[in-house]
Structure 1
């Protein structure tokens, strides 16, 4: 009987030790996973920052290209308007001269 009780006590001690060891392993595993998660979050944050910088750079370049295109178009429109103005001015001057000749016989 004593022997059986002793075996039960030893078995309980072994179970307690196994449980403590298992809990320690679980804690270690949990800490490992927490560290891995933290590393991944840091990496993701860094990647987001890099992508934002790249996106901002790309958008700024597109904005500069659009600005140059709009300036070129504005210059073309200005040149065309100047051409139309000069043409209409010349036509008006010729019309006035013609009317003056008709009215005054010059």
Structure 2
């Protein structure tokens, strides 16, 4: 399984960028996208940036990855999904039956 990691661009050099995220710094290929400005958040798969992220998207993905680590260690993840706690789950509109709210 390949997970996308949100990383912030520190420096760009042609088709590669120095990025930081989740406690590590690494060189990332930019071959699949236009070189982003320094400070941009990107989603990285197998050391290759795939798309630009907003800061909020990067935060939510990082929280989800933290939840996986926490759950595997037997901890509670409710604090990482505060927007989902105490509400009923909802299907996205394209998955709802016709006429359903």
The structure with the largest strand share of the pair is: 2
Per the normalisation by structure 1, the TM-score is 0.20
The structure with the largest helix share of the pair is: 1
Per the normalisation by structure 2, the TM-score is 0.21
Higher alpha-carbon Rg: 1
